[in-house]
A and B are shown apart, each in its own frame.
Chain A
């Protein structure tokens, strides 16, 4: 099995236009969750989300095209033979809203496969690529599959790009499921009452050791392990015992050849919903026993970016690993049972060479990625 390196990574979130900005603002404990101005929210359970105000939907294009375009512009040159994998749950579904309002809307933006085609064109790549849809674990699964392509020798270079935007379509849906919090999300807090939606995207350029070559003399981050598992429990609720997440984590640790004690920090899904956060704490406790490493969630800061979440969180986790710093969980104050001493409202220094990210989604999907310095 070949090693899989992250040659470059970037993110565009509601906290800032670059991964550096997002990281710095996270460390300061800032949140970008505020009143939604994009559509009326009077009929919904909440009126807040973490939007990128500067995103435009000029003409017939979806906002997601602007987001994708900015990520492509920020990315370094990518080899022409790279496989493009995008990860998005709803792509340019804002164009369905536009059509319903009688506005010009490019229908192709609503098809998730169009995102990969756009990226391939913009970056001058040879293949059309494809999109992976696995609900809120879409990007995590895309990274796992991209890593698998490289480790098996089927590809030398894979460009992962994940993106999702805040639309009335998605906002109304989570509101109808009673999943939105009226105040900014508070992951792992006793008083948490739901999630806050967010928008954003990230890119990760994965390469084989041969392509990594002498690309960087500094510290390198590799994708050491990945695991995906279904809990086969309920369409929209996680299994309370976290069996699917435990399974995904154990698969990732086996692939990475590491023991629980090797993991120095965990970037959790941490949506701020009652059931998700409890499920995660149970799963972590089952796998790590009494020694659960520091756990954090970025969703109190940048909201839940659904299909893009896993990609943004892996990019941030690479910073966690390289700086040996777990960022604060914004919104976290009063620990849920099991989060005491594990989740923090301030940055925490860590040692070790491995960090893990986890995500879960509708359809029972659970996924884990282990990064190695």
Chain B
């Protein structure tokens, strides 16, 4: 089965962007920009303000990737999965939550914050917001490359389990706890993979797994999620120039 990359979105230190806009490039180290509701969502979304920072960057990158693929609007729920990789997960949120447990013997523990003390909570928010009913889980890995999430995403589509999968990485780091991960990029990076025969006209190119188990896109080897997104942008830029 042919699988295509049809949408890209990111929230990284270099900036917030989506594939076909070319207004910013992904990557970099340092502070991660804080997306607001208006960054990626049109219309009311009162819950956005209650999300923890980790969920905000993850959900925003997913929304941008769906917009890039023109898949953000929906009427019927869709068999699209969500698979993300992370190293620190929601540890920063864990610390914020536990601060609410300490006073008064836990009587003031915050149920709202507790709901976001799972690395996969933001995937649940994305599923609700965009009507996505496929598989959804987070892979906690070190080093954080996102390659595992791409492997499982491609496998899920190839096995016929999903029509599409949003695969990516999401990591805020947690300097208060450490240790430092050998994470190539912080922030969130997501791409939408779809069955090529169901893609809506536009595609950055085909993606698959070769016999040695390596991820390949348009013939080139992909080593991590950032590399995949950069490769897609190169392809789109070259097409514009030709």
Binding site for B on A (CB under 8 A): 40, 42-44, 89-90, 93, 96-97, 100, 107-108, 110-114, 117, 128, 130-135, 138, 141, 144-145, 148-149, 152, 154, 168-169, 171-178, 228-236, 244, 247, 251, 362-365
Contact call A173/B141, Cβ cutoff below 8 A: no
Which of B114, B124, B130 has the most chain A CB within a 10 Å cutoff? B124
Which of chain B's residues have a CB closer than 8 A to the CB of A233? 128
The 3 closest A-B pairs by CB, nearest first: A363-B124, A43-B105, A173-B114
Contact call B127/A232, Cβ cutoff below 8 A: yes
- Does B235 make an interface contact (CB < 8 A)? no
Contact call A230/B98, Cβ cutoff below 8 A: no
Which of chain B's residues have a CB closer than 8 A to the CB of A177? 111, 114-115
- As a 0/1 sequence over residues 75 to 114 of chain B, the CB contacts with chain A under 8 angstroms (1 = contact) are 0010000100001110100110110011011110111001
Closest to A306 in B: B118
Closest to B78 in A: A232
Q: Which of B211-237 contact A (CB under 8 A)?
A: 213
Binding site for A on B (CB under 8 A): 77, 82, 87-89, 91, 94-95, 97-98, 101-102, 104-107, 109-111, 114-115, 117-121, 123-125, 127-128, 130-142, 148, 151-152, 155-156, 158-159, 161, 177-179, 209, 213
Known: A131-B140, A365-B124. A100 touches B133 (CB 8 A): no
Contact call A235/B128, Cβ cutoff below 8 A: yes
Q: Kindly provide the distance from the CB of B140 to the nearest chain A CB, expressed in whole angstroms.
A: 4
User: DSSP majority for the B interface?
Assistant: mixed
Q: Kindly provide the distance from the CB of A359 to the nearest chain B CB, expressed in whole angstroms.
A: 12
Contact call B134/A229, Cβ cutoff below 8 A: yes
Q: Kindly provide the distance from the CB of A123 to the nearest chain B CB, expressed in whole angstroms.
A: 18
Which of chain B's residues have a CB closer than 8 A to the CB of A149? 155
Q: Kindly provide the distance from the CB of A224 to the nearest chain B CB, expressed in whole angstroms.
A: 15
Bound CA span A128–B140, Å: 11
- Select which of A97, A111, A251 is within 8 A of B161 by beta carbon: A251
- Select which of A132, A176, A244 is within 8 A of B138 by beta carbon: A132
